[in-house]
Structure 1
Amino acid sequence: MSNRREFLKGAAAGAFGVMGAGFAGSASAAAVKFDKEADVIVVGLGGAGAATAITAADNGASVIVIERQPKDTLRSNTRMSGGIFHCPDKTGDRKALKEYAKAMFSGENIPGKLEGEQPEVSDGLAQAWADYTPGLLDWMKSLDPKFQAFATPGFKGAAFPNFPGAKECGYQVYKASYPDRIRPMHKSTWGQPKEETMHGEAFWQCLATGVENRKDKIAVDYETRGRKLVQNDKGEVIGVIAEKGGKTVAYKARKAVVLCSGGYEYSKTMRQAFLEGPGVEGWAFYGTIYNEGDGIRMGLDAGAGMMKAGKAASRIIFPAPVRHNGMRLGIITPAVGSGHAIVVNQMGRRYAAEHKVTKDPSRYFFYKEAVKFNIDTLDYANSPSWFIFDETLRKQKPLVDLSISTPGYKFLDWGAPDNSDAVKKGWILKADTIEELGKKIAEQKDNSGRMDPKVLAETVKRYNELCAKGEDTDFGRLKTTLQPVADGPFYAIPLVAGGPNTKGGLAANAKREVLDWDLKPIPGLYAVGEIASALKFVYQGGGNLTECLVFGQICGKEVAKLPNRA
């Protein structure tokens, strides 16, 4: 089909006739009058949805993408990210690359560490990673030759150097950009001309260019929220029921439906069901507020199984006193681990080397420290933790990343880069002495009097002594970060488990076919991205953007070659 009008023909004008009220369960094909149709229906226009749609179109399929957000203010996790993705050296050992990928996905090739993806699917996933990741930068440049990416020292190489294959696979990590270098900055490039964008915004603009250049094959329906899947009498998924402007719209998929709608960060009930520890108050996320588990709900209603539903790419971050769906919005907090600061538990004691919060390889599973349950006291002593810092750090740099995440995309306003506005708003506690700061922490609802100001003062004193000696003999903190907490006034913010996104979700294989509880494919149903992340054992920064590209390409090719379904 040569143009958009042709591949959308057959739509029933004015028909919003889905029989039955509500959106619970999957819909029977016999009860649905379809309003629009295409070969492939993609639910969600983030990195996964874009890569899938582009590849399906390039392989001859017509595509409709339905996206719940408005076009002009679209803010996905892809766009709000740091724009980091993996692209190993093409001269690296591909067998070693597969082994490294399998170690990250499942741990099954590391003695005693099997914990992630099931072995039934992990080998195919790892092979796909080895086949596609070395070509990702080339693929992005094929979408837009102006796109650039740069290797950066902070993210160079394999984050897990002792994993099988790490030394031989030539692992490399890049940051996305349109300018000829990654410029340091404290503001977002969201809304700027494409040529000035960096980080996740640049990554997204490249994919958006690819979608726009295929508008004869890819239609995007914005402000349209997928609600349930349509199955025929064989159990095949043949469409999606969506909601737009208070009305229902039925989309027929001649070949397949691909769910790319992200995780469940802002679904209260899913967080309570799946996340460790206090799933609501003990967590925050700094990605988009629109990830409410829609695709997971739809998949489960159609008979999908799940894999590692409680997994998340998370550390400990600042939960802002701004809420959506009753849950606090998180902010990426890269200052944790800096000098002139420590992290303490609810009682005022250090419990780990602070650099582990924000540095590889621990930064995307440090949240495990926050959800440790004390079987004697029956509480979570590290949730929230408290980031204690002095005036030197307060003036030195923003505690949070203002260029990406929730501040960079206007979900909340942190204010001035010197953190002074956050102090004025009360987001940061301030006191003239450490003891006074401890008292203020004890008065917070999240602490409920557990903080002992004297213990906190002793902790700071001990830390400062270690700084003077030049070695953290208590926890092994990096020597380069050993600067004392000594320049008053003093400050504190809470830190809870959280990060960019959840990772566990629908069960899916390497083709991205969604699987039922017996690991059998549900015909016509696929999933790509955070809704069914492959990175369920450990996570290296940039992994989610990488899997969007890898499995979006694989899935796009798979669904395009499917026969039409009756």
Structure 2
Amino acid sequence: MVKRDTKTSGAATAAVSRRDMLKAGGLLGLGIAGAGALPACAPKGAGGSKASSAPRGGDDIAWDEEADVVVIGSGTGAYTAMRCANDGLDVIVLEKNSQAGGSTIFSSSVVWAPCNDLEKAEGIEDSREEALTYIKALSGDTFLPEEAAAFVDNVNAAVKNAAQIAGIEWTIWPGGIDYSVFLPGGKKRGRAILPKVPEGDTPIGKLNKAIIEAAEALGARFLTETPATQFISRTTEDGAIEVLGVAARSGRKTINVRARRAVVLASGGFDWNQAMMKNYLRTPARYSWGIATDDGDGQKMAMKLGADLRFMNEAFLSPGYKKEFQEAHEQGMSRLSTIIRDDGKRGIVFVNKHGRRFTNECATYDSVGRSFGGFENNGENRSWANLPAWAIVDQAGADGHAFNGGELGKPGPSYTRYETLEALAEGCGIDKEGLLAQIARFNEHAERGEDPDFGRGQDYYGQNSAYVSSGYEGAFRTLQPISTPPFYAAEIVPVVLGTMGGIKTNAQAQTVDMEGNVIERLYAQGNVSGIGAGGACYVGGGGTLGPAIAYGEIAANQIHNLDSWA
């Protein structure tokens, strides 16, 4: 593997001149898009963002580094870096963290890829039309027909290129049920694929690591601890914004990195930016699975350039044990949620402060995460209906599954033990009568394999997902009375796997301003791009990586056909 470059040369900020501003054909602007940009006429469709002026061609910018393509972020952006490098282009990847990989390094490496070759080999019927029907049904009025079609049409090229260039050997994920399989076009298996790994090994991070190694071997340079800070742009004769490069911080210095063909923004979400989380998300989530450098830098940089936004109120969600996420965040650490391995199992229920269940616990983790967002308006009680909330387990449940990463018979450290349900209610501040009534109702129906309130275990996913208990049949794979003392309770909260909102991006992976004009030479992919899956939805396992690498494939193809501006 090529040694990762963590150093850059020079230390000069952009020297912006005003000479030759006026040309016969009109005003040309060049400058740093972002804080401190020198004023100039606002470019057409830039939503009021201004670029400082200088001669066309960037002659007065002191460039410290340059490449054909500059990628911001080394998570899913590593795929685009690999593809461009494989095309023979010179690539620099700017990474804020001390190591490459972004939040993708913690992913399960699952990719949602409808109509893939593995399906065909196993005789699983799938089609472009079915995939788009499913995405449309799941997205509702957020469906983006052109963007969804571009995803479906390009994801398998990305899968094949990952195999051919990075050596990934793919296999179908056995538990990869489409998360809303009951919708038109949903599939019980086949679309979710992941890299093969040796028995006993984990696929977590494998895809990203292999892609980074392949990109480096092809000559791409990964500059770690080098966060991008602002775009360097100019205004063209027809009033469009054209991105020429990126200013970045390297140690105590600012460096200017020229992108001769294009910049690809792949900086991730804003799930570690509390202000943005509070301002934008409709679900009151305050914790994240993601890496601490996912703090909205890319969104803010592009907004200063005049880029439009999309899906900023949306996120990929899950439930989480509050204690484990609170401790991780206090240390600035990312972590995976152990509860997604727990909530489909027998012997657990979720209740709110009234003691009432509020969700189908064994539904997809994104669906459960969204269930926290209800609001109640009852006299003087005006608050989130399902916060605070708790997971409750009885001893029979604990004997059958190691909850919260604990051991059989003893749940992990997020749980507190109580001898009775009454003591549990008092200790947690839950309405006692409400809790006792709820558990009695749940137990009555669980004995019969029923859940008339939330349909737990009544559908295909609820009986066959990778997260329900084994050794049982039908609804009993997830339903069991909560009746054997002692009892255990752990506070739970909604947790962000990754924010979905970001820069509005078209079906060619080009960023778009607030009037619908393309921002030239700036592409985006992944959680910074506001694509979702061609709509604000979570299609299934790999529902973030699939669209991300598909749009990386699209961007690489677009960039391949671009001429250098320099």
TM-score range, shorter chain: 0.7 to 0.9
| TM superposition shift of 1:265 | 0.4
Would the aligned equivalents of 2:525 and 2:549 in 1 still touch at CA under 8 Å? no
Aligned letter for 1:311? E
Q: Which residue number corresponds to residue 367 of structure 2?
A: 365
**Contact 1:66–1:224 (CA<8 Å) still a contact in 2?**
yes
1 CA distance for matches of 2:86 and 2:61? 30
Cα deviation per residue 1:106-145 (whole Å; 9 max; x = unaligned)?
55xx8xx74224xxxx333233233233445432221243
Q: Which amino acid aligns with 2:10?
A: G
Matching residue of 1:223:
225
Contact 1:40 1:253 in 2 (8 A): yes
Distance 1:418 1:290, change over 3 A: farther
Structure 1 unaligned regions, length at least 5 = 184-195, 403-415, 443-450
Structure 1 distance, partners of 2:313, 2:395, is: 38
Deviation at 1:96, TM superposition (A): 7.2
1:207 corresponds to 2:211 = yes
- Residues 458, 164 of structure 1: CA spacing in aligned structure 2 closer, same or farther, 3 A cutoff? closer
Question: What residue is the counterpart of 1:341 in the other structure?
Answer: 348
**Pairwise mapping of residues 76-225 of structure 1 onto structure 2 (< 5 A)?**
76-87=102-113, 88-90=115-117, 97-103=127-133, 107=137, 114-117=140-143, 122-145=144-167, 147-156=168-177, 158-161=178-181, 163-166=183-186, 172-179=191-198, 181=199, 183=200, 196=201, 198-215=202-219, 218-225=220-227
Pick aligned residue for 1:322 from 311, 327, 346:
327
Q: Does 1:247 align with 2:245?
A: no
| Residue 83 of structure 1: how far off its partner (Å) | 1.8
RMSD: 3.3
**What secondary structure is seen at the aligned counterpart in 1 of 2:326?**
strand
Which of 25, 29, 35 is the aligned partner of 1:24?
A: 35
1:374 is aligned to 2:353 = no
- The match for 1:553 is 553
Report the number of matched residues: 495
Partner of 1:269: 275
Q: 2:232, 2:245 within 8 Å by CA — same for their partners in 1?
A: yes
**Do the aligned residues in 2 keep the contact of 1:321 with 1:328 (CA within 8 Å)?**
no
Q: 1:329 to 1:469 in 2, by over 3 A?
A: same
TM-aligned CA deviation for residue 297 of structure 1: 0.6
The answer for the alignment partner of 1:521 in structure 2 is 518
| Residue in 1 that maps onto 2:532 | 534
Q: Which residue of 2 aligns with 1:256?
A: 262
Larger deviation: 376-385 or 170-179? 170-179
Cα distance in structure 2, aligned partners of 1:555 and 1:264: 22
**Distance across 1 between alignment mates of 2:385 and 2:297:** 33
Q: 1:350 aligns with which of 357, 377, 385?
A: 357
Distance 1:327 1:347, change over 3 A: farther
Q: Distance in 2 between matches of 1:126 and 1:22?
A: 30
One-letter amino acid matched to 2:484: D
Give the AA of the match of 1:453. Answer: K
Query: For structure 1, which segment, 136-145 or 298-307, has the greater mean C-alpha deviation from structure 2 after superposition?
Result: 136-145
Please list, as runs of the form range in 1=range in 2, the aligned pairs for 1:300-319 lying within 5 A after superposition.
Answer: 300-319=303-322
**1:205-246, CA deviations, whole angstroms, 9 ceiling, x for partnerless residues?**
22123212212xx11101111111111243211111111212
Partner of 1:33: 62
Aligned residue for 1:249, secondary structure, equals strand
Which residue does 1:503 correspond to in 2?
Answer: 500
Aligned to 1:375, the other structure's residue is in SS state strand
- Name the SS for the 2:520 alignment partner: strand
Q: Matched residue of 1:253: which SS?
A: strand
Correspondence 1:436 to 2:457: no
**Structure-2 residue corresponding to 1:477:** 456
Query: 2:11 matched to 1:15?
Result: yes
Confirm or deny: 8 A CA contact 1:262 1:531 kept in the other structure. yes
- Preserved CA contact (<8 Å) 1:29 1:230: no
- Return the offset for 1:22: 12
Bigger shift: 88-97 or 256-265?
Answer: 88-97
Is it true that 1:544 corresponds to 2:544 in the alignment? yes
Match of 1:488 in 2: 485
Offset from partner CA, 1:159-215 (integer Å, 9 cap, x none): 444555447x99521232321x5x4xxxxxxxxxxxx5x323222222123212212
| Deviations 1:289-338, CA, capped at 9 Å, x for gaps | 22001110111011100111111111322232226489996642120121
Q: Which of 55, 61, 84 does residue 56 from structure 1 map onto?
A: 84
Alignment check: 8 A CA contact 1:389 1:490 kept? yes
The structure with the largest alpha-carbon Rg is 2
Change over 3 Å in CA distance of 1:75–1:13 after alignment to 2:
closer
1:285 partnered with 2:285: no
Contact 1:464 1:484 in 2 (8 A): yes
Distance 1:247 1:213, change over 3 A: same
CA separation of 1:372 and 1:421: change in aligned 2, threshold 3 A? closer
1:458 Cα deviation (Å)? 2.7
| Aligned partner letter, 1:552 | G
Residue 260 of structure 2 aligns to a residue in which SS?
A: strand
1:516–1:106 Cα change, 3 Å: farther
| Aligned-residue offset at 1:105 | 5.0
Matches of 1:440 and 1:139, distance apart in 2: 55
Letter in 2 for 1:340: G
Query: Is the contact between residue 322 and residue 329 of structure 1 (CA under 8 Å) also seen in structure 2?
Result: no
Aligned equivalents of 1:463 and 1:124: distance in 2?
45
Identify unmatched segments of 5+ residues in structure 2.
17-31, 38-50, 55-59, 458-474
Whether the 8 Å contact between 2:525 and 2:548 is mirrored in structure 1 is yes
From the superposition, tell whether residues 529 and 419 of structure 1 become closer, same or farther in structure 2 (CA, over 3 Å).
farther
| Amino acid in the other structure paired with 1:115 | D
Amino acid at match of 1:49: G
Residue 94 of structure 2 corresponds to which residue in structure 1?
A: 66
Provide the residue aligned with 1:410 in structure 2.
none
